[in-house]
Structure 1
Amino acid sequence: MISKKVLILGANSDVAKQCILQYFQKGFSIIAASRKLKSLENFVLENSLNKTKIDLKYFDACDFSSHQKFYDELSIKPNIVIYAAGFLVENQKALQDFDATFEMMKTNYIGAVSILNIISTDFNNKNLERIIGLSSLSGVRGRKSNFIYGSTKSAFTQYLAGLRQELSSRKIIVNVLISGYIDTKINAGLNLNKNLIMQPNYVAEHIVEAGNSFTIVPNIKWKLIYFILKVLPESLVAKLP
């Protein structure tokens, strides 16, 4: 029996690595795609993963011209696709350094649209059943502390919402993970509320166990924060950090 394939784009992230482990436990084969292949090679060795069930592929979210070739060269097209690539710089730096801002735009949104458009319009891939994008609570409402990063995540969430509608006639499910603080490399050094920090393996569980609902918000505390942010009047949002 041929196992189902999961393509993880941005597979070097902490959450993505936990997804690899959890999908392995469920018997899936993995295509782990990242710019940092050496890190992934070390991860495979450290966890004694069966090398016959994981392919490591070079993928640069920001090199849009390479995306079609990357996808075409996949010998077996995926059943599940996860877009986990992400890039973050603090808001004050982003305000003054457009190169940093553009890097966030390319990684968090433009690169995602580029590769996911290619994948979702491959009508020959009858195996495709699900696409999951990793977004952020930062994209729910614009706040002065992180509105530039948040805008890239908001755009990605809206793209996924429309893609879900586009693919519904083909019975392909699209999910978005709206996460709060996660104990990951991207958040290292930030002053975060320790009572709200989630571990990567916990977040990965919600990705691997994704159902039919579009929005996935792990943790009851973050669910509450998510719904409050959605309905909070603008006058009160403006008072948030």
Structure 2
Amino acid sequence: MVKAVAIKNRVMKTVLILGANSDVAKEAMQLYIQQGWQVIAASRSLSEIDQFIATRNLPSERIITRYFDATAFGDHAAFYAGLPAKPNIVLYAAGFQVTNEEALLSWEGSYRMINVLYAGAVSILNLVATDGGNPGLERIVGLSSLSGVRGRKSNFIYGSTKAAFTTYLAGLRQHLEPRKVVVNAIIAGYIRSKLTAHLDLPESLLMEPAFIARHVTGAGRRFIIVPGWKWKIIYTILRILPENLVARLP
């Protein structure tokens, strides 16, 4: 009976997942459900989320799906105002990526990465952060990337959007500190996902979405969270490496 009461009380709290169709977001959704949270899964691909819920046999009564397009800035205010519950946790996991060569040759690819990975995040998270009618906001988690730590010739366009996103989250953390709202940036390395399936990445450095999701749902108070010991070493090296050596990296 005590266990049932505890779960019932936790269900009253809500996690809003933006970009819920990403591989990491779907794994995080399952973990949040297991921890007793209600989830609002927001994405452009609601049919794929429904399929995931059915495949994993997740309790549909604990998951609310909503259409969300990170690039439809004009719709964000109405989307947020129309949520069935105020979120206690918000996870921004929307993703999009093309190769650096494609981004250089096609402004459309660059522009979409900028909008999905940075501008869309700022648009919706500004609404979350400035909502004075939500005193229950506890945490905002952003899925960023090691690609944003230093500019590198192989992926500087994608990396620049992640660098901007991490910087935004850092300032947002300071802004929300008086309200005791925690902001976390998950600085992830290579993830085995549908976004990276077309890339030639070293197998020894690939991380599973479920592994990253555990760091998302288990985030403490630290701002920067780098999953994986190999990537912690790489992150540290990238931060201290002189620019002339960074320029030699692929």
Identity %: 56
Structure 2 residue aligned with 1:133: 142
2:74 to 65, 68, 77: 65
SS at match of 1:185: coil
User: Are positions 1:115 and 2:124 aligned together?
Assistant: yes
2:166 to 157, 160, 163: 157
SS at match of 1:187: coil
Letter aligned with residue 86 of structure 2: K
How many Å apart are 1:50 and its aligned residue? 1.2
Letter aligned with residue 16 of structure 1: A
1:47 to 32, 51, 56: 56
1:195 to 204, 210, 219: 204
How many Å apart are 1:47 and its aligned residue? 1.4
Q: Deviations over 1:165-199 (max 9, x none)?
A: 00000000000000000000000021101001000
SS at match of 2:221: coil
How many residue pairs align between the two structures?
Answer: 241
Structure 2 residue aligned with 1:238: 247
SS at match of 2:195: helix
SS at match of 2:135: coil
**Structure 1 consecutive aligned stretches of length 4 or more whose deviation exceeds 3 Å:** none
Q: Deviations over 1:146-173 (max 9, x none)?
A: 0000000000000000000000000000
1:212 to 218, 221, 234: 221
Q: What's the TM-score once normalised by structure 2's chain length?
A: 0.95
Aligned equivalents of 1:88, 1:51: Cα separation in 2: 30
SS at match of 1:204: helix
How many Å apart are 1:59 and its aligned residue? 0.2
How many Å apart are 1:46 and its aligned residue? 1.0
Q: What's the TM-score once normalised by structure 1's chain length?
A: 0.99
Structure 2 residue aligned with 1:95: 104
SS at match of 2:21: coil
Aligned equivalents of 1:22, 1:75: Cα separation in 2: 21
Aligned equivalents of 2:114, 2:123: Cα separation in 1: 12
Alignment RMSD: 0.6
How many Å apart are 1:49 and its aligned residue? 1.4
